[in-house]
């Protein structure tokens, strides 16, 4: 009967209850979004790094992979040494460069990645095949920018003179594949070509150099153990496991995590205040009723129970609606942040996990419970005779 009384009390003033539920729903939505934001980036970044099965990344000492234009020389010796480390299954070196691709109205910059096609982890083929010497795999954005299709040829060069409209060291390559490039923005023109082709360009400036390498460890081996061994073998490079990379990314994305924490806390506080205020006013309005219930023998604990249940019901209803609303707003906010230039398409800022929903709802229900406690306690402690007299006078 207490639950029925709680529901009846809420239904007595539908407009007020509806408004409170709306307020709690918005607070829950914001809370859910912030919970998703706090962990989303790290999750999707980790998934991105793990996408191709490489657990370790190597880069020039003191840098992060592709964070700078630095390269490592004597690359073939380095790769061989790393491949010989116990526990290493595959080493996939790559070299990044900015090349020029002329077109009718001038030229565009194209990101070029030199890879060893058989072991590379930078792209997945959507169409065609892996490139051999003299061939490239292009991203859809590159094909569109250059008005090319699979099977066409494309001219790529190391330099472009805008006055003379001429290119330096131009070579013609056939497009044999279309690739989805994991670590670059979807709108970025990218071509992948055999590492040796790229190293041979730029008049030898890139000879035997790489920008980074990805390492896949053998099954059953510990990542940290192998990473440490690589570090001892190749002191010229920085060795980064996926976990370390994620943690470095975390540092850079601390702003979003802090924002998530602050806004999430504010949302929770707002939800709490709303329920507390509503319950306080609701109790104040029902002093007489509560006094009568106490007079006819209803225990104080039951009054407390009823009021706390009312607060909980509000939280639950508002919370459930808020979860749905939160998922919608998260999609919208993720769409906004997804427009960051150069952001790989796989990176999401708001990643939903069922655990997030439970966390948000749980926090809100907890807040709703506590919010109802003080007004409930006051109600239960009413001086009954005084309250009845005041009700009679009123």
Partner 1 sequence: MLHALSALAPLAAALAFQLPPQLPTVALDERMRTDLGLAIGDTVELAAASGAPGQRMVISAFTRRTADPSEVARAEYKVRVHLTDLQALLRYGDRVDRFAVVTHDSSAREAAVRAINARAFGFRAYPSADIAVETGRTFAVINRFHRAIGVITILASAIFLLCIMLLRVEERRREIATLRLIGLSRRTVERAIVVEAAAIAALGAFVGTGLGAVVSAVVNRHYQALYRTPLVFSLVTPDVIALAVALSVVLGLGAGWLAARRLTGRAPLTLLGR
Partner 2 sequence: MTVLLDAVNLHRDYAMAADAVHALRGLSVQIAAGDYVAIVGPSGCGKSTLLNLLGALDRPTQGAVRIRGTDVATLDDRAATAFRLTSVGFVFQRFHLLPMLSAEENVALPMAEAGVPREARRARARELLAYVGLAGRADHRPTQLSGGEQQRVAIARALANRPALILADEPTGELDARTGAEIIALFERLNADGTTIVVVTHDDTLAAAARRVVQMRDGAIVADERLRP
Q: What residue ranges bind partner 1 (CB under 8 A)?
A: 13, 15-16, 19-20, 22-23, 26-27, 29-30, 60-63, 67-70, 72-73, 159, 161-164, 235-237, 251-255, 258, 263, 267, 270, 273-274, 277-278, 281, 284-285, 329, 332-333, 336-337, 339-341, 394
375-394 positions binding partner 2, by CB under 8 A: 383-385, 388-389, 391-392
The answer to whether residues 271 and 24 touch, using CB atoms and an 8 Å cutoff, is yes
The answer to whether residues 248 and 238 touch, using CB atoms and an 8 Å cutoff, is no
> Terminus-to-terminus CA distance in the chain, angstroms?
29
Counting Cβ atoms within 10 Å, is residue 21 exposed (0-12), middle (13-18) or buried (19+)?
buried
Q: In sequence order, which ranges of 216-352 are alpha helices (DSSP H)?
A: 223-233, 242-252, 254-285, 287-295, 300-337
Shortest distance in whole angstroms from residue 23 CB to partner 2:
23
Does 15 bind partner 2 (CB under 8 A)? Our answer is no
- Give the number of other Cβ atoms within 10 Å of residue 50's Cβ: 12
Using the contact rule CB under 8 A, the part of the chain among 4-12, 25-33, 61-69, 70-78 near partner 2 is: 4-12
61 binds, among partner 1, partner 2, none (CB under 5 to 8 A by kind): partner 1
Task: Write the binding mask 249 to 288 for partner 2: x where contact by CB under 8 A, - elsewhere.
Answer: ---------------------------------------x
SS3 of residue 115 by DSSP:
strand
Shortest distance in whole angstroms from residue 168 CB to partner 1:
9
27 binds, among partner 2, partner 1, none (CB under 5 to 8 A by kind): partner 1
Closer Cβ to partner 1, 72 or 141, answer by number: 72
Closer Cβ to partner 1, 225 or 391, answer by number: 391
The answer to whether residues 256 and 355 touch, using CB atoms and an 8 Å cutoff, is no
> Which residues make Cβ contacts (< 8 Å) with residue 221, sequence separation at least 6?
86, 87
282-301 positions binding partner 2, by CB under 8 A: 288-289, 292-300
Both tokens assigned to 275:
């329920």
337 binds, among partner 1, partner 2, none (CB under 5 to 8 A by kind): partner 1
Shortest distance in whole angstroms from residue 167 CB to partner 1:
11
161 binds, among partner 2, partner 1, none (CB under 5 to 8 A by kind): partner 1
Shortest distance in whole angstroms from residue 5 CB to partner 2:
7
What ranges make up the beta strands (E) of the chain? 56-60, 88-103, 106-115, 123-128, 135-138, 153-156, 159-161, 166-168, 171-181, 190-194, 212-217, 237-241
Beta-bridge mates of residue 76: none
Shortest distance in whole angstroms from residue 98 CB to partner 1:
12
Closer Cβ to partner 1, 83 or 270, answer by number: 270
191 closest CA partner among 175, 213, 202: 175
In angstroms, the Cα distances linking 34 to 25, 254, 263, 270 are 14, 13, 7, 14
DSSP 218: P
Instruction: Tell me which residues touch partner 2 (CB under 8 A).
Output: 1, 5, 8-9, 11-12, 288-289, 292-300, 302, 383-385, 388-389, 391-392
């Amino acid at each position: 009967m207490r639950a029925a009384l709680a529901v009846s009390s809420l239904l007595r003033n539908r407009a007020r209850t509806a408004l409170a539920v709306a307020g709690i729903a918005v607070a829950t939505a914001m809370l859910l979004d912030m919970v998703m934001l706090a962990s989303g980036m790290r999750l999707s970044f980790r998934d991105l790094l793990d996408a191709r099965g490489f657990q370790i990344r190597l880069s020039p000492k003191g840098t992060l992979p592709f964070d700078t234009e630095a390269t490592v020389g004597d690359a073939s010796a380095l790769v061989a040494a790393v491949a010989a480390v116990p526990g290493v299954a595959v080493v996939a070196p790559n070299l990044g460069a900015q090349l020029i691709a002329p077109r009718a109205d001038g030229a565009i910059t194209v990101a070029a990645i030199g890879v060893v096609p058989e072991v590379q982890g930078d792209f997945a083929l959507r169409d065609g095949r892996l490139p051999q010497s003299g061939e490239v795999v292009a991203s859809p954005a590159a094909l569109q920018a250059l008005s090319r299709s699979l099977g066409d040829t494309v001219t790529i060069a190391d330099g472009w003179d805008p006055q003379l409209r001429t290119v330096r060291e131009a070579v013609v390559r056939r497009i044999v594949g279309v690739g989805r490039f994991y670590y670059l923005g979807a709108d970025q023109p990218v071509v992948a070509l055999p590492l040796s082709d790229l190293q041979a360009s730029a008049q030898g400036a890139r000879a035997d150099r790489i920008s980074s390498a990805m390492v896949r460890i053998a099954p059953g081996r510990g990542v940290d153990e192998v990473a440490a061994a690589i570090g001892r073998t190749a002191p010229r490079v920085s060795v980064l496991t996926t976990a370390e990379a994620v943690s470095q990314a975390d540092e850079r994305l601390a702003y979003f995590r802090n924002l998530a924490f602050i806004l999430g806390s504010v949302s929770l506080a707002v939800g709490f205040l709303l329920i507390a205020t509503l319950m306080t006013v609701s109790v104040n309005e029902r002093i007489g009723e509560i006094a009568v219930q106490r007079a006819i023998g209803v225990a104080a604990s039951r009054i407390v129970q009823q009021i706390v249940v009312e607060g909980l019901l509000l939280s639950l209803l508002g919370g459930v609606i808020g979860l749905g609303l939160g998922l919608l707003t998260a999609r919208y906010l993720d769409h906004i942040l997804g427009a960051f230039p150069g952001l790989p398409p796989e990176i999401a800022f708001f990643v939903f996990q069922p655990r997030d929903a439970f966390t948000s709802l749980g926090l809100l229900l907890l807040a709703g419970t506590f919010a109802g406690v003080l007004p409930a306690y006051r109600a239960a402690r009413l001086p009954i005779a005084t309250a009845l007299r005041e009700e009679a006078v009123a």
